[in-house]
Amino acid sequence: MGEAMQLRVQCLELIAPEVYRLDVGPVEPPLAWKPGQWASLRLPVGPHPPLVRAYSLASPPDGTGIMPLIFDHVDGGLGSTYLKELGPGDEVEMGGVLGKFVLPEPLVGGILFGARFTGAVPVRCIVRALAQTENPPRVRLVQGARTRDGLLFLDEFAALDRYAPWFSYHPILLEPEEGWNGPVGEELDLLRPLSAEEAPYVPMLSGVREFTVPARAFFQEERGFDRRAVRVEHYD
């Protein structure tokens, strides 16, 4: 096995129903992960420990060595059930940082993100990194969830939409509660018109395969993208 690192839990915070932010570290020297990547944790649970699970990083590196991970608690899920019982000072073993859901280099044109539920986590990491650059590309984000609670980072994305001319935010709900004034339906309902423009862009899709598989097929079949030109991160 690769050398694992023992990281200390700094804090565990509930950020949405059944969704937690887990800060671990510091890692010395700080790891320089690429925005969009995930950390591989090795957890002392399951029939044949360690149970290896991957969790997305919510923010780009900030020099502190603290790694902000997001996970949703799944009923009966060994990894997430273990993690949500951790507290400050507890140790977590990390195998490394990996993942290919990162910006293409060089990036030509803009980015059209599609994200469902916790699929928004690596997107948020990338958007935050872009916000720190001098000339961010044009970024459009379609974020879907069942209910408003599932729109992770809603306030943050909405605020960025208001003050950053390069960023536009398009949330959509499948089962909206009273008071929701935004669109209702699936992510593809918004991706379809947004993807019709002539200007070059890179489609980047993140979430469960129930969303990413048909969405990738849409970009291939109806927008003429090569399969590998559509960047995808699966969560299941």
Which positions touch another protein (CB under 8 A)?
Answer: 1-3, 31-34, 37-38, 40, 46-48, 51-56, 74, 77-79, 95-100, 102, 208-210, 213, 227-228, 233-236
* Cβ proximity to another protein, 46 vs 182, nearer residue: 46
Residue identified by tokens 């699929």 is 119
CB < 8 Å & 24+ apart, contacts of 188-192: 188/114, 188/214, 188/215, 188/218, 190/142, 191/112, 191/114, 191/142, 191/215, 191/218, 192/218, 192/222
* Least distance to another protein, CB of residue 180, Å: 27
* Cβ proximity to another protein, 71 vs 153, nearer residue: 71
* Least distance to another protein, CB of residue 99, Å: 7
Integer CA distances (angstroms), 221 to 148, 190, 216, 218, in order: 31, 17, 9, 5
* Least distance to another protein, CB of residue 38, Å: 7
* Least distance to another protein, CB of residue 225, Å: 14
* Cβ proximity to another protein, 50 vs 183, nearer residue: 50
Three-state DSSP class for residue 191: helix
* Cβ proximity to another protein, 42 vs 148, nearer residue: 42
Tokens describing residue 120: 């928004």
DSSP state of 75: T
